[in-house]
Amino acid sequence: MATTGVFNGTNLLLKFAAGSGSAVSIGHSTSCSLSLSNDLPEATTKDSAGFQEVIAGVKSGEISFEGLVAYDDANNAIQAADLLIARTKINWTFGTAESGDAIYSGNGFLSSVEMSAEMESPVTYSGSITVTGAIAKA
């Protein structure tokens, strides 16, 4: 049954895998976000009555994520860094595990992976995926 009303962000999951492998949730995730954009080229002419006009152009997307580093996670920061270094295309899904909820999916490349360690604090990671090609919604 689809999620109704406002829901807890803990339920929103980012999964990815190399190539056409089976996508797995990123380990110890603390946040994830999907950002979609539409380039809007200007189409203003003398007939625009002094108002700007635009047309729909190229669509794009980026996914950002953060979490805590655990080397024994099935999908951890080291694996993400390896995929970035190897320039490996990944497949990703973004959504809840609840049946009937919208799940976005597609392909992309890791455009950044960062690991950070402060004294007496958990080691954290963050990264981003730049979407390539179409995004599907199921």
pLDDT digits 0-9 by tens, 56-69: 999 999 999 999 99
Measure CA 28 to chain center.
Answer: 16
| Sheet strand arrangement including 103-116 | 24-25, 13-18, 89-95, 103-116, 124-137, 59-68, 29-38
pLDDT for 117 equals 96
Please indicate, yes or no, if residue 8 is contained in any of the structural domains: no
Please indicate, yes or no, if residue 19 is contained in any of the structural domains: no
Please indicate, yes or no, if residue 17 is contained in any of the structural domains: no
Close Cβ partners of 135 (under 8 Å, ≥ 6 residues apart): 36, 59, 61, 104, 105, 106
Cα(9)–Cα(70) distance, rounded to whole angstroms? 21
The residue among 105 and 2 whose pLDDT is bigger is 105
pLDDT for 131 equals 98
At residue 53, does pLDDT exceed 90? yes
Decide: 96 and 12 in contact? Cβ < 8 Å: yes
Please indicate, yes or no, if residue 15 is contained in any of the structural domains: no
Decide: 95 and 12 in contact? Cβ < 8 Å: yes
Domain containing 61 — which CATH number? 2.40.30
Q: pLDDT band at 19, cuts 50/70/90? A: confident
20-45 pLDDT, tens digit per residue, is 889 999 999 999 999 999 999 999 99
Please indicate, yes or no, if residue 49 is contained in any of the structural domains: yes
82-113 pLDDT, tens digit per residue, is 999 999 999 999 999 999 999 999 999 999 99
Q: pLDDT band at 3, cuts 50/70/90? A: confident
Please indicate, yes or no, if residue 18 is contained in any of the structural domains: no
Range of the domain at 46: 25-137
Decide: 63 and 16 in contact? Cβ < 8 Å: no
Number of structural domains (the chain) is: 1
Please indicate, yes or no, if residue 6 is contained in any of the structural domains: no
Please indicate, yes or no, if residue 12 is contained in any of the structural domains: no
Close Cβ partners of 82 (under 8 Å, ≥ 6 residues apart): none
